[in-house]
Amino acid sequence: MSSTPVLLDNAQTPARSEVLKDKILPAMLAGTLGLGLLYAAGFAETSHLHNAAHDGRHSASFPCH
């Protein structure tokens, strides 16, 4: 029986493309979506934001009055 350690061919470290696909890309998409929502809310009229929130509450069966 040999006591020489066996090297695993990078089985523990993910490939660079997997890190990009699994972590960085979703984070970038979430950040872009968040900034887009902030931009849209910043330039929307107050009545439009109120109506959107009001309709959202009713669609979730949450009372608002």
What is the residue type of 35? Answer: L
Residue 48 domain flag: yes
Residue 44 domain flag: yes
Q: What is the pLDDT of residue 30?
A: 96
Segment 44-51 shows an average pLDDT of 83
Residue 5 domain flag: no
User: pLDDT band at residue 57, thresholds of 50, 70 and 90?
Assistant: confident
List Cα–Cα distances, 40 to 2, 11, 44, 58, 61, in angstroms.
66, 44, 6, 22, 25
Q: What is the pLDDT of residue 55?
A: 84
Residue 23 domain flag: yes
Q: What is the pLDDT of residue 7?
A: 57
Q: Mean pLDDT in the chain?
A: 78
> For residue 22, what are the domain limits?
16-59
Residue 47 domain flag: yes
Q: Count how many domains the chain has.
A: 1
